[in-house]
Protein backbone atom coordinates (compact mmCIF):
# COMPACT_ATOMS: atom_id res chain seq x y z
CA UNK A 1 0.00 0.00 0.00
CA UNK A 2 1.49 3.37 -1.01
CA UNK A 3 1.89 5.90 1.79
CA UNK A 4 -0.90 8.39 2.43
CA UNK A 5 1.34 11.15 1.11
CA UNK A 6 1.39 9.70 -2.40
CA UNK A 7 -2.33 8.89 -2.66
CA UNK A 8 -4.76 11.32 -4.26
CA UNK A 9 -7.61 12.83 -2.28
CA UNK A 10 -9.97 10.99 -4.65
CA UNK A 11 -8.38 7.59 -3.99
CA UNK A 12 -8.58 8.23 -0.27
CA UNK A 13 -12.23 9.32 -0.45
CA UNK A 14 -13.21 5.91 -1.79
CA UNK A 15 -11.74 4.12 1.23
CA UNK A 16 -12.95 6.45 4.00
CA UNK A 17 -15.98 5.06 5.79
CA UNK A 18 -16.92 8.20 7.71
CA UNK A 19 -19.49 10.21 5.74
CA UNK A 20 -18.00 13.62 6.61
CA UNK A 21 -14.42 12.62 5.78
CA UNK A 22 -15.54 11.01 2.53
CA UNK A 23 -17.49 14.09 1.51
CA UNK A 24 -14.60 16.38 2.38
CA UNK A 25 -12.10 14.40 0.29
CA UNK A 26 -14.56 14.24 -2.61
CA UNK A 27 -15.08 17.99 -2.41
CA UNK A 28 -11.33 18.63 -2.39
CA UNK A 29 -10.87 16.49 -5.49
CA UNK A 30 -13.91 17.96 -7.29
CA UNK A 31 -12.98 21.59 -6.61
CA UNK A 32 -9.20 21.17 -6.71
CA UNK A 33 -8.75 22.84 -3.35
CA UNK A 34 -7.32 21.92 0.02
CA UNK A 35 -8.04 25.35 1.46
CA UNK A 36 -10.08 25.77 4.64
CA UNK A 37 -11.16 29.30 5.48
CA UNK A 38 -10.92 30.07 9.18
CA UNK A 39 -13.44 32.81 9.83
CA UNK A 40 -13.12 34.69 13.11
CA UNK A 41 -15.54 37.58 12.84
CA UNK A 42 -18.09 38.70 15.38
CA UNK A 43 -21.01 39.79 13.20
CA UNK A 44 -23.41 37.63 11.25
CA UNK A 45 -23.41 39.93 8.24
CA UNK A 46 -19.63 39.94 8.03
CA UNK A 47 -19.46 36.16 8.39
CA UNK A 48 -21.97 35.61 5.59
CA UNK A 49 -20.41 38.24 3.33
CA UNK A 50 -16.89 36.79 3.58
CA UNK A 51 -18.16 33.22 3.25
CA UNK A 52 -20.12 34.09 0.13
CA UNK A 53 -17.08 35.79 -1.39
CA UNK A 54 -14.57 33.07 -0.61
CA UNK A 55 -16.85 30.02 -0.79
CA UNK A 56 -15.93 29.06 -4.39
CA UNK A 57 -12.26 28.65 -3.41
CA UNK A 58 -12.60 26.44 -0.34
CA UNK A 59 -13.36 22.85 0.60
CA UNK A 60 -14.17 23.67 4.21
CA UNK A 61 -15.33 26.61 6.33
CA UNK A 62 -14.00 26.71 9.89
CA UNK A 63 -16.21 28.64 12.30
CA UNK A 64 -16.12 29.88 15.89
CA UNK A 65 -19.87 30.18 16.15
CA UNK A 66 -19.74 31.36 19.78
CA UNK A 67 -18.05 34.66 18.94
CA UNK A 68 -20.87 35.87 16.67
CA UNK A 69 -22.69 38.63 18.58
CA UNK A 70 -25.97 38.37 16.69
CA UNK A 71 -26.02 34.58 16.31
CA UNK A 72 -29.41 33.12 15.50
CA UNK A 73 -30.93 30.14 13.73
CA UNK A 74 -31.16 32.15 10.52
CA UNK A 75 -27.35 32.37 10.45
CA UNK A 76 -27.11 28.59 10.49
CA UNK A 77 -29.65 28.23 7.72
CA UNK A 78 -27.89 30.77 5.53
CA UNK A 79 -24.52 29.18 6.20
CA UNK A 80 -25.92 25.80 5.20
CA UNK A 81 -27.33 27.33 2.02
CA UNK A 82 -23.95 28.90 1.16
CA UNK A 83 -22.31 25.53 1.79
CA UNK A 84 -24.66 23.98 -0.78
CA UNK A 85 -24.35 26.75 -3.34
CA UNK A 86 -20.54 26.94 -3.16
CA UNK A 87 -19.96 23.25 -2.39
CA UNK A 88 -18.02 23.19 0.87
CA UNK A 89 -18.35 21.54 4.28
CA UNK A 90 -18.54 23.19 7.71
CA UNK A 91 -16.12 22.60 10.58
CA UNK A 92 -16.98 24.14 13.95
CA UNK A 93 -13.67 24.68 15.71
CA UNK A 94 -15.20 24.19 19.16
CA UNK A 95 -12.14 22.57 20.73
CA UNK A 96 -14.24 20.51 23.13
CA UNK A 97 -12.24 19.94 26.28
CA UNK A 98 -14.51 18.60 29.02
CA UNK A 99 -15.55 15.25 30.42
CA UNK A 100 -17.81 12.98 28.39
CA UNK A 101 -21.13 13.82 29.99
CA UNK A 102 -20.59 17.57 29.54
CA UNK A 103 -19.44 17.48 25.92
CA UNK A 104 -22.47 15.37 25.00
CA UNK A 105 -24.61 18.36 26.00
CA UNK A 106 -22.29 20.98 24.52
CA UNK A 107 -22.18 19.21 21.16
CA UNK A 108 -25.87 18.38 20.80
CA UNK A 109 -27.74 20.97 22.87
CA UNK A 110 -27.73 24.61 23.82
CA UNK A 111 -28.33 27.56 21.52
CA UNK A 112 -25.79 26.34 18.95
CA UNK A 113 -26.70 22.64 18.48
CA UNK A 114 -23.33 22.22 16.78
CA UNK A 115 -23.87 18.60 15.79
CA UNK A 116 -26.95 19.51 13.78
CA UNK A 117 -25.03 21.60 11.23
CA UNK A 118 -21.24 21.12 11.57
CA UNK A 119 -20.01 18.17 9.49
CA UNK A 120 -16.78 18.18 11.44
CA UNK A 121 -15.75 19.36 14.90
CA UNK A 122 -12.68 18.91 17.07
CA UNK A 123 -11.68 18.01 20.61
CA UNK A 124 -8.69 18.13 22.91
CA UNK A 125 -7.63 14.75 24.27
CA UNK A 126 -6.60 16.19 27.63
CA UNK A 127 -9.73 14.92 29.47
CA UNK A 128 -9.03 11.33 28.41
CA UNK A 129 -10.95 8.98 26.10
CA UNK A 130 -14.30 9.78 27.75
CA UNK A 131 -14.45 12.93 25.63
CA UNK A 132 -14.53 10.89 22.42
CA UNK A 133 -17.19 8.59 23.86
CA UNK A 134 -19.30 11.58 24.91
CA UNK A 135 -19.11 13.22 21.49
CA UNK A 136 -19.61 9.94 19.62
CA UNK A 137 -22.99 9.46 21.30
CA UNK A 138 -24.20 12.54 19.45
CA UNK A 139 -22.04 12.60 16.32
CA UNK A 140 -22.02 8.98 15.14
CA UNK A 141 -25.77 8.72 14.47
CA UNK A 142 -25.49 11.90 12.36
CA UNK A 143 -22.49 10.76 10.32
CA UNK A 144 -20.29 13.54 11.73
CA UNK A 145 -16.50 13.46 11.94
CA UNK A 146 -14.18 14.34 14.82
CA UNK A 147 -10.65 15.71 14.67
CA UNK A 148 -8.39 15.37 17.70
CA UNK A 149 -6.07 18.24 18.53
CA UNK A 150 -2.71 16.49 18.45
CA UNK A 151 -0.59 19.60 17.93
CA UNK A 152 -1.23 23.35 18.01
CA UNK A 153 0.39 26.27 16.24
CA UNK A 154 0.83 28.76 19.10
CA UNK A 155 4.16 29.47 20.82
CA UNK A 156 4.74 27.41 23.95
CA UNK A 157 1.96 24.89 23.30
CA UNK A 158 2.06 21.73 25.41
CA UNK A 159 0.56 19.67 22.54
CA UNK A 160 3.82 18.07 21.48
CA UNK A 161 5.95 14.97 21.98
CA UNK A 162 4.36 12.39 24.25
CA UNK A 163 1.07 14.32 24.32
CA UNK A 164 0.84 14.09 20.53
CA UNK A 165 1.62 10.38 20.61
CA UNK A 166 -1.06 9.88 23.25
CA UNK A 167 -3.64 11.54 20.99
CA UNK A 168 -2.62 9.17 18.20
CA UNK A 169 -3.03 6.18 20.50
CA UNK A 170 -6.43 7.46 21.58
CA UNK A 171 -7.53 7.81 17.95
CA UNK A 172 -6.41 4.27 17.13
CA UNK A 173 -8.16 2.84 20.18
CA UNK A 174 -11.32 4.71 19.20
CA UNK A 175 -11.20 3.27 15.67
CA UNK A 176 -11.35 -0.21 17.18
CA UNK A 177 -14.35 0.62 19.37
CA UNK A 178 -17.71 -0.52 18.03
CA UNK A 179 -19.57 2.58 19.31
CA UNK A 180 -17.02 5.09 18.00
CA UNK A 181 -15.81 3.34 14.86
CA UNK A 182 -14.77 5.75 12.07
CA UNK A 183 -15.87 8.79 14.13
CA UNK A 184 -12.31 10.06 14.66
CA UNK A 185 -11.31 11.04 11.13
CA UNK A 186 -8.02 12.76 11.78
CA UNK A 187 -6.08 15.43 13.59
CA UNK A 188 -5.32 19.06 13.93
CA UNK A 189 -1.54 18.80 13.64
CA UNK A 190 1.53 20.34 12.08
CA UNK A 191 2.53 17.19 10.20
CA UNK A 192 1.77 13.51 9.62
CA UNK A 193 1.97 12.46 13.23
CA UNK A 194 1.09 8.84 12.44
CA UNK A 195 4.21 8.25 10.33
CA UNK A 196 7.16 6.41 11.83
CA UNK A 197 6.95 4.91 15.30
CA UNK A 198 5.38 1.55 15.93
CA UNK A 199 2.62 0.96 13.41
CA UNK A 200 0.75 -2.28 13.89
CA UNK A 201 -0.32 -4.35 10.91
CA UNK A 202 -3.94 -3.51 11.72
CA UNK A 203 -3.16 0.21 11.45
CA UNK A 204 -1.64 -0.17 7.98
CA UNK A 205 -4.85 0.84 6.19
CA UNK A 206 -5.68 3.76 8.47
CA UNK A 207 -6.17 7.14 6.83
CA UNK A 208 -6.18 10.19 9.05
CA UNK A 209 -6.96 13.63 7.69
CA UNK A 210 -4.39 16.18 8.88
CA UNK A 211 -5.73 19.74 9.03
CA UNK A 212 -3.17 22.41 9.77
CA UNK A 213 -3.70 25.91 11.17
CA UNK A 214 -1.15 28.70 11.28
CA UNK A 215 -0.69 28.96 7.49
CA UNK A 216 0.34 32.28 5.98
CA UNK A 217 2.08 33.51 2.85
CA UNK A 218 2.97 36.99 4.07
CA UNK A 219 3.35 37.03 7.86
CA UNK A 220 5.38 35.22 10.50
CA UNK A 221 3.30 35.62 13.68
CA UNK A 222 1.03 37.78 15.86
CA UNK A 223 1.33 39.41 19.27
CA UNK A 224 -0.42 36.54 21.07
CA UNK A 225 2.00 33.80 20.04
CA UNK A 226 0.47 32.53 16.79
CA UNK A 227 3.15 31.30 14.35
CA UNK A 228 2.81 30.83 10.57
CA UNK A 229 4.16 28.43 7.91
CA UNK A 230 3.68 28.41 4.12
CA UNK A 231 1.39 26.02 2.17
CA UNK A 232 4.52 24.38 0.70
CA UNK A 233 5.92 23.66 4.15
CA UNK A 234 2.59 22.31 5.34
CA UNK A 235 1.35 20.24 2.37
CA UNK A 236 4.54 19.24 0.57
CA UNK A 237 7.14 18.98 3.33
CA UNK A 238 4.95 17.99 6.28
CA UNK A 239 2.43 15.95 4.28
CA UNK A 240 -0.70 17.56 5.75
CA UNK A 241 -4.02 17.48 3.87
CA UNK A 242 -5.80 20.78 4.49
CA UNK A 243 -4.39 24.27 5.04
CA UNK A 244 -6.36 26.48 7.39
CA UNK A 245 -6.04 30.17 6.57
CA UNK A 246 -7.79 33.07 8.27
CA UNK A 247 -6.85 36.70 8.45
CA UNK A 248 -4.46 36.23 5.51
CA UNK A 249 -7.52 35.97 3.28
CA UNK A 250 -10.01 38.48 4.67
CA UNK A 251 -7.71 41.15 6.12
CA UNK A 252 -9.03 43.47 3.42
CA UNK A 253 -12.72 44.27 3.54
CA UNK A 254 -12.87 44.35 -0.26
CA UNK A 255 -14.61 41.35 -1.82
CA UNK A 256 -12.41 41.21 -4.93
CA UNK A 257 -9.27 41.35 -2.78
CA UNK A 258 -10.57 38.54 -0.53
CA UNK A 259 -11.28 36.43 -3.59
CA UNK A 260 -7.83 37.17 -4.98
CA UNK A 261 -6.18 36.11 -1.72
CA UNK A 262 -8.34 32.98 -1.46
CA UNK A 263 -7.42 31.96 -5.01
CA UNK A 264 -3.76 32.63 -4.21
CA UNK A 265 -3.86 30.31 -1.17
CA UNK A 266 -5.93 27.76 -3.06
CA UNK A 267 -3.34 27.65 -5.86
CA UNK A 268 -0.41 27.48 -3.43
CA UNK A 269 -2.01 24.61 -1.50
CA UNK A 270 -3.06 22.71 -4.61
CA UNK A 271 0.32 23.05 -6.34
CA UNK A 272 2.04 21.77 -3.22
CA UNK A 273 -0.35 18.79 -3.24
CA UNK A 274 0.21 18.08 -6.96
CA UNK A 275 3.95 18.13 -6.40
CA UNK A 276 3.54 15.78 -3.43
CA UNK A 277 1.63 13.18 -5.43
CA UNK A 278 4.05 13.57 -8.36
CA UNK A 279 1.59 15.19 -10.76
CA UNK A 280 3.02 18.67 -10.92
CA UNK A 281 2.65 19.94 -14.48
CA UNK B 1 4.60 32.01 57.05
CA UNK B 2 2.21 29.13 57.86
CA UNK B 3 1.29 26.89 54.96
CA UNK B 4 -1.86 27.63 52.98
CA UNK B 5 -3.45 24.51 54.44
CA UNK B 6 -3.44 25.93 57.96
CA UNK B 7 -4.66 29.45 57.11
CA UNK B 8 -8.34 30.36 57.32
CA UNK B 9 -10.27 31.47 54.25
CA UNK B 10 -10.70 34.83 55.98
CA UNK B 11 -6.96 35.32 56.52
CA UNK B 12 -6.33 34.46 52.91
CA UNK B 13 -9.04 36.83 51.64
CA UNK B 14 -7.19 39.76 53.19
CA UNK B 15 -4.01 39.02 51.21
CA UNK B 16 -5.57 38.19 47.84
CA UNK B 17 -5.27 41.10 45.41
CA UNK B 18 -7.63 39.74 42.74
CA UNK B 19 -11.16 41.07 43.31
CA UNK B 20 -12.91 37.81 42.40
CA UNK B 21 -10.65 35.62 44.55
CA UNK B 22 -10.97 38.02 47.47
CA UNK B 23 -14.75 38.07 47.18
CA UNK B 24 -14.93 34.29 46.95
CA UNK B 25 -12.83 33.75 50.07
CA UNK B 26 -14.87 36.36 51.96
CA UNK B 27 -18.09 34.66 50.91
CA UNK B 28 -16.79 31.28 52.02
CA UNK B 29 -15.87 32.66 55.44
CA UNK B 30 -19.12 34.61 55.81
CA UNK B 31 -21.40 31.73 54.82
CA UNK B 32 -19.27 28.92 56.27
CA UNK B 33 -19.28 27.01 53.01
CA UNK B 34 -16.70 25.75 50.54
CA UNK B 35 -19.36 24.16 48.35
CA UNK B 36 -19.60 24.99 44.65
CA UNK B 37 -22.69 23.74 42.86
CA UNK B 38 -21.98 22.42 39.37
CA UNK B 39 -25.17 22.81 37.42
CA UNK B 40 -25.44 20.91 34.17
CA UNK B 41 -29.03 21.30 33.08
CA UNK B 42 -30.31 22.27 29.67
CA UNK B 43 -33.34 24.42 30.50
CA UNK B 44 -33.42 27.92 31.90
CA UNK B 45 -36.27 27.21 34.24
CA UNK B 46 -34.55 24.19 35.70
CA UNK B 47 -31.27 26.08 36.11
CA UNK B 48 -32.97 28.94 37.96
CA UNK B 49 -35.10 26.63 40.09
CA UNK B 50 -32.16 24.55 41.31
CA UNK B 51 -30.00 27.62 41.85
CA UNK B 52 -32.69 29.30 43.91
CA UNK B 53 -33.12 26.18 46.02
CA UNK B 54 -29.45 25.52 46.64
CA UNK B 55 -28.13 29.11 46.61
CA UNK B 56 -28.13 29.55 50.40
CA UNK B 57 -25.70 26.62 50.81
CA UNK B 58 -23.05 27.56 48.27
CA UNK B 59 -20.19 30.01 47.80
CA UNK B 60 -20.02 29.54 44.04
CA UNK B 61 -22.24 28.45 41.17
CA UNK B 62 -20.49 26.67 38.31
CA UNK B 63 -22.30 26.93 34.99
CA UNK B 64 -22.05 25.50 31.48
CA UNK B 65 -24.01 28.31 29.91
CA UNK B 66 -23.69 26.89 26.39
CA UNK B 67 -25.83 23.83 27.14
CA UNK B 68 -28.93 25.86 28.05
CA UNK B 69 -31.40 25.43 25.18
CA UNK B 70 -33.40 28.59 25.86
CA UNK B 71 -30.49 30.80 26.88
CA UNK B 72 -31.22 34.54 26.77
CA UNK B 73 -30.12 37.75 28.44
CA UNK B 74 -32.94 37.40 30.94
CA UNK B 75 -31.32 34.21 32.25
CA UNK B 76 -28.11 36.11 32.99
CA UNK B 77 -29.99 38.88 34.77
CA UNK B 78 -31.94 36.44 36.90
CA UNK B 79 -28.80 34.47 37.73
CA UNK B 80 -27.08 37.67 38.80
CA UNK B 81 -30.06 38.54 40.97
CA UNK B 82 -29.99 35.10 42.62
CA UNK B 83 -26.26 35.54 43.21
CA UNK B 84 -27.00 38.77 45.08
CA UNK B 85 -29.96 37.45 47.05
CA UNK B 86 -28.22 34.24 48.13
CA UNK B 87 -24.69 35.68 48.27
CA UNK B 88 -22.62 33.55 45.93
CA UNK B 89 -20.28 34.11 42.96
CA UNK B 90 -20.55 32.70 39.45
CA UNK B 91 -17.96 30.54 37.72
CA UNK B 92 -18.48 29.76 34.03
CA UNK B 93 -16.74 26.46 33.42
CA UNK B 94 -15.90 27.34 29.81
CA UNK B 95 -12.59 25.47 29.68
CA UNK B 96 -11.13 27.88 27.13
CA UNK B 97 -8.64 25.99 25.01
CA UNK B 98 -7.74 28.07 21.97
CA UNK B 99 -5.04 30.54 20.93
CA UNK B 100 -4.99 34.02 22.46
CA UNK B 101 -6.74 35.93 19.71
CA UNK B 102 -9.65 33.48 19.63
CA UNK B 103 -10.23 33.27 23.37
CA UNK B 104 -10.29 37.06 23.60
CA UNK B 105 -13.41 36.96 21.40
CA UNK B 106 -14.90 33.88 23.06
CA UNK B 107 -14.56 35.40 26.53
CA UNK B 108 -15.79 38.91 25.79
CA UNK B 109 -18.08 38.61 22.77
CA UNK B 110 -20.70 36.39 21.24
CA UNK B 111 -24.16 35.66 22.60
CA UNK B 112 -22.82 34.76 26.05
CA UNK B 113 -20.43 37.64 26.87
CA UNK B 114 -19.04 35.46 29.64
CA UNK B 115 -16.69 38.09 31.04
CA UNK B 116 -19.59 40.45 31.70
CA UNK B 117 -21.20 38.19 34.30
CA UNK B 118 -18.88 35.33 35.35
CA UNK B 119 -16.59 36.36 38.21
CA UNK B 120 -14.39 33.37 37.49
CA UNK B 121 -13.69 31.25 34.44
CA UNK B 122 -11.12 28.62 33.55
CA UNK B 123 -8.72 27.66 30.78
CA UNK B 124 -6.61 24.76 29.64
CA UNK B 125 -2.89 25.52 29.36
CA UNK B 126 -2.44 23.28 26.34
CA UNK B 127 -2.30 26.18 23.82
CA UNK B 128 0.60 27.80 25.71
CA UNK B 129 0.79 31.10 27.62
CA UNK B 130 -0.91 33.06 24.82
CA UNK B 131 -4.24 31.81 26.15
CA UNK B 132 -3.71 33.60 29.47
CA UNK B 133 -2.66 36.78 27.66
CA UNK B 134 -5.74 36.64 25.43
CA UNK B 135 -8.13 36.18 28.36
CA UNK B 136 -6.34 38.76 30.52
CA UNK B 137 -7.02 41.47 27.92
CA UNK B 138 -10.71 41.07 28.65
CA UNK B 139 -10.77 39.86 32.26
CA UNK B 140 -8.22 42.07 34.02
CA UNK B 141 -10.05 45.38 33.44
CA UNK B 142 -13.20 43.76 34.88
CA UNK B 143 -11.51 42.34 37.98
CA UNK B 144 -12.24 38.77 36.90
CA UNK B 145 -10.27 35.70 37.99
CA UNK B 146 -8.90 32.80 35.95
CA UNK B 147 -8.36 29.20 37.03
CA UNK B 148 -5.98 27.01 35.06
CA UNK B 149 -6.90 23.37 34.54
CA UNK B 150 -3.89 21.65 36.06
CA UNK B 151 -5.57 18.30 36.68
CA UNK B 152 -8.88 16.71 35.71
CA UNK B 153 -11.07 14.10 37.35
CA UNK B 154 -11.91 11.82 34.41
CA UNK B 155 -10.30 8.42 33.81
CA UNK B 156 -7.29 8.51 31.50
CA UNK B 157 -6.81 12.29 31.63
CA UNK B 158 -3.49 13.59 30.28
CA UNK B 159 -3.52 16.48 32.79
CA UNK B 160 -1.00 14.94 35.17
CA UNK B 161 2.69 14.85 36.00
CA UNK B 162 4.78 17.15 33.85
CA UNK B 163 1.66 18.72 32.31
CA UNK B 164 0.45 19.73 35.78
CA UNK B 165 3.85 21.16 36.65
CA UNK B 166 3.86 23.12 33.40
CA UNK B 167 0.52 24.70 34.31
CA UNK B 168 2.00 25.71 37.67
CA UNK B 169 5.00 27.30 35.97
CA UNK B 170 2.68 29.14 33.59
CA UNK B 171 0.64 30.49 36.50
CA UNK B 172 3.77 31.69 38.28
CA UNK B 173 5.11 33.36 35.14
CA UNK B 174 1.76 35.06 34.64
CA UNK B 175 1.77 36.40 38.21
CA UNK B 176 5.03 38.20 37.40
CA UNK B 177 3.65 39.75 34.21
CA UNK B 178 2.51 43.35 34.55
CA UNK B 179 -0.47 42.91 32.17
CA UNK B 180 -1.70 39.69 33.77
CA UNK B 181 -0.75 40.22 37.41
CA UNK B 182 -3.14 38.57 39.87
CA UNK B 183 -5.44 37.40 37.05
CA UNK B 184 -4.59 33.71 37.52
CA UNK B 185 -6.09 33.00 40.93
CA UNK B 186 -5.69 29.25 41.13
CA UNK B 187 -6.28 25.86 39.60
CA UNK B 188 -8.74 23.16 38.89
CA UNK B 189 -6.82 20.31 40.48
CA UNK B 190 -7.12 17.24 42.66
CA UNK B 191 -4.74 18.54 45.32
CA UNK B 192 -2.30 21.31 46.28
CA UNK B 193 -0.14 21.06 43.19
CA UNK B 194 2.11 23.94 44.30
CA UNK B 195 3.36 22.12 47.41
CA UNK B 196 6.80 20.51 47.35
CA UNK B 197 9.08 20.83 44.37
CA UNK B 198 11.26 23.86 43.85
CA UNK B 199 9.54 26.89 45.35
CA UNK B 200 11.43 30.13 44.87
CA UNK B 201 11.63 32.69 47.65
CA UNK B 202 9.45 35.00 45.54
CA UNK B 203 6.72 32.34 45.37
CA UNK B 204 6.60 31.96 49.16
CA UNK B 205 3.64 34.32 49.57
CA UNK B 206 1.63 32.98 46.65
CA UNK B 207 -1.89 31.79 47.36
CA UNK B 208 -3.61 29.69 44.74
CA UNK B 209 -7.23 28.65 45.10
CA UNK B 210 -7.67 24.95 44.40
CA UNK B 211 -11.15 24.00 43.15
CA UNK B 212 -11.83 20.32 42.84
CA UNK B 213 -14.45 18.54 40.73
CA UNK B 214 -15.44 14.90 40.99
CA UNK B 215 -16.69 15.08 44.57
CA UNK B 216 -19.41 12.69 45.70
CA UNK B 217 -20.62 11.14 48.95
CA UNK B 218 -22.59 8.27 47.48
CA UNK B 219 -21.16 7.23 44.11
CA UNK B 220 -17.85 6.11 42.67
CA UNK B 221 -18.09 6.98 38.95
CA UNK B 222 -20.19 7.22 35.79
CA UNK B 223 -20.22 5.44 32.44
CA UNK B 224 -18.13 8.12 30.73
CA UNK B 225 -15.10 7.91 32.98
CA UNK B 226 -15.91 10.44 35.72
CA UNK B 227 -14.44 9.41 39.10
CA UNK B 228 -15.49 10.63 42.57
CA UNK B 229 -13.81 11.38 45.92
CA UNK B 230 -15.31 12.47 49.25
CA UNK B 231 -15.13 16.01 50.73
CA UNK B 232 -12.79 14.67 53.45
CA UNK B 233 -10.37 13.30 50.87
CA UNK B 234 -10.48 16.52 48.88
CA UNK B 235 -10.38 19.22 51.61
CA UNK B 236 -8.65 17.53 54.52
CA UNK B 237 -6.28 15.06 52.90
CA UNK B 238 -5.52 16.83 49.61
CA UNK B 239 -5.76 20.39 50.99
CA UNK B 240 -8.07 21.75 48.29
CA UNK B 241 -10.24 24.83 48.91
CA UNK B 242 -13.55 24.31 47.14
CA UNK B 243 -15.51 21.14 46.47
CA UNK B 244 -17.46 21.06 43.21
CA UNK B 245 -20.58 18.90 43.41
CA UNK B 246 -23.20 18.41 40.74
CA UNK B 247 -25.62 15.58 40.21
CA UNK B 248 -25.07 14.45 43.82
CA UNK B 249 -27.10 17.48 44.90
CA UNK B 250 -29.86 17.84 42.32
CA UNK B 251 -30.42 14.22 41.26
CA UNK B 252 -33.82 14.50 42.87
CA UNK B 253 -36.24 17.01 41.39
CA UNK B 254 -37.64 17.77 44.84
CA UNK B 255 -36.58 21.15 46.25
CA UNK B 256 -36.46 20.01 49.87
CA UNK B 257 -34.33 17.00 48.91
CA UNK B 258 -31.92 19.21 46.91
CA UNK B 259 -31.58 21.52 49.89
CA UNK B 260 -31.00 18.57 52.19
CA UNK B 261 -28.25 17.23 49.92
CA UNK B 262 -26.66 20.67 49.55
CA UNK B 263 -26.58 21.14 53.32
CA UNK B 264 -25.10 17.67 53.67
CA UNK B 265 -22.25 18.49 51.27
CA UNK B 266 -21.81 21.94 52.80
CA UNK B 267 -21.42 20.41 56.27
CA UNK B 268 -19.05 17.69 55.05
CA UNK B 269 -16.86 20.23 53.24
CA UNK B 270 -16.86 22.69 56.12
CA UNK B 271 -16.10 20.09 58.78
CA UNK B 272 -13.18 18.84 56.70
CA UNK B 273 -11.93 22.44 56.48
CA UNK B 274 -12.33 23.05 60.23
CA UNK B 275 -10.38 19.90 60.96
CA UNK B 276 -7.70 20.98 58.52
CA UNK B 277 -7.17 24.35 60.20
CA UNK B 278 -7.29 22.72 63.63
CA UNK B 279 -10.60 24.23 64.74
CA UNK B 280 -12.79 21.17 64.74
CA UNK B 281 -15.13 21.40 67.69
Q: Which listed residue (B98, B113, B181, B203) is catalytic?
A: B98
Q: Is B106 on the interface with A (CB under 8 A)?
A: yes
pLDDT, residue B203, reads 73
Per-residue model confidence as pLDDT tens digits over A131-188: 999 999 999 999 999 999 999 988 899 999 999 999 999 999 999 999 998 999 999 9
Active site residue B72: no
Q: Do B129 and A99 count as a contact with CB atoms less than 8 A apart? A: no
pLDDT at B196: 75
Of residues B122, B138, B123, the one with CA closest to residue B179: B138
Chain B residues inside the 8 Å CB shell of A222 = 101
DSSP per-residue codes, B10-47? HHHHHH--SHHHHHHHHHHHHHT--EEEEE--S-HHHH
Q: Give kind and range of the element (H or E) at residue A91.
A: strand A89-96
* Min distance A260 CA to chain B CA atoms (Å): 25
Label residue A30 by pLDDT band (50, 70, 90): very high
What's the DSSP call for residue A55? Answer: G
Query: Which CATH number characterizes residue A129's domain?
Result: 3.20.20.70
Q: How many domains does chain A have?
A: 1
Domain residue limits at A269: 4-277
Residue B1, pLDDT score? 58
Environment class of residue B71 by beta-carbon count within 10 Å: exposed (0-12), middle (13-18) or buried (19+)? buried
Q: Which of B69, B102, B154 sits opposite A40 (nearest CB)?
A: B102
Instruction: Identify the band that residue B78 occupies on the pLDDT scale cut at 50, 70 and 90.
Output: very high
Indicate left, alpha or beta for B227 from its phi (over 0: left) and psi (-120 to 50: alpha). beta
For an interface test with B, which of A156, A165, A216, A251 has the most B Cβ atoms less than 10 Å from its Cβ? A156
The complex's ipTM works out to 0.95
Are the Cβ atoms of B111 and A68 closer than 8 angstroms? Answer: yes
Flag the least confident range among A110-114, B136-140, B194-198.
B194-198
The catalytic position among B44, B52, B87, B95 is B95
Query: Contact, A123 vs A149, CB < 8 A?
Result: yes
Taking contacts as CB-CB distances below 8 angstroms, the residues of chain B near A152 are: 99, 126-128
Task: Using a pLDDT cut of 90, give the percent of chain A over it.
Answer: 89
At residue A224, the pLDDT reads 64
**Chain B window 149-208: which residues touch A at a Cβ cutoff of 8 Å?**
149, 152-159, 163, 166
pLDDT digits (tens, 9 = 90+) for B173-184: 999 999 998 999
Contacts of A257 (CB under 8 A, 6+ apart): none
CA distances from A28 to A186, B9, B184 (A): 16, 58, 43
| Contact assessment for residue B190 and residue B151, using Cβ atoms and an 8 Å cutoff | yes
* Angle subtended at Cα A117 by Cα A114 and Cα A118, rounded to the nearest 5 degrees: 70
For A203-244, the pLDDT digits (tens) are 778 999 999 999 999 876 666 666 789 999 999 999 999 999
Considering only CA atoms, which of B76, B80, B77, B84 is closest in space to residue B56? B84
**pLDDT at residue B200 greater than cutoff 80:** no
B50, B116, B49: which is closest to B77 by C-alpha?
B116
Instruction: Note the pTM of the prediction, 2 decimals.
Output: 0.95
B69: pLDDT strictly greater than 70 = yes
Helix axes A44-54, A255-276, angle to 10 degrees: 50
Closest chain A residue to the Cα of B102, Cα to Cα: A40
Q: Which of A153-157, B22-26, B195-199 has the lowest mean pLDDT?
A: B195-199
Please, which pLDDT band fits residue B11 given cuts at 50, 70 and 90?
A: very high
Q: How far apart are CA A247 and CA A55, in angstroms?
A: 15
Task: Name the minimum distance, in Å, from the CA of A184 to any CA of chain B.
Answer: 17
**B contact residues 218-277, partner A, Cβ 8 Å cutoff:** 222, 224-226
β-bridge partners, B186: B147, B209
Task: Please determine, for residue A200, whether its predicted confidence score (pLDDT) is greater than 70.
Answer: no
Checking if the pLDDT of A199 tops 80, the result is: no
How does pLDDT run across B238-266, given as a tens digit for each residue?
999 999 999 999 999 999 999 999 999 99
Considering the candidates A44, A52, A95, A181, report the single residue annotated as catalytic. A95
Amino acid sequence: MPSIRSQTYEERSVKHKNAAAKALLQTMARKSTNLCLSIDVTSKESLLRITDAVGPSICLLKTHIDIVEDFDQDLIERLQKLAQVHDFLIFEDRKFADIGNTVTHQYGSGPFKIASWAHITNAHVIPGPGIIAGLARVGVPLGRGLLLLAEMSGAGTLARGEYTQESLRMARTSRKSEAEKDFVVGFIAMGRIEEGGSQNQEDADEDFLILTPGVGLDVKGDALGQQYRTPDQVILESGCDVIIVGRGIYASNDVAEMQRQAERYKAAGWNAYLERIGRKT
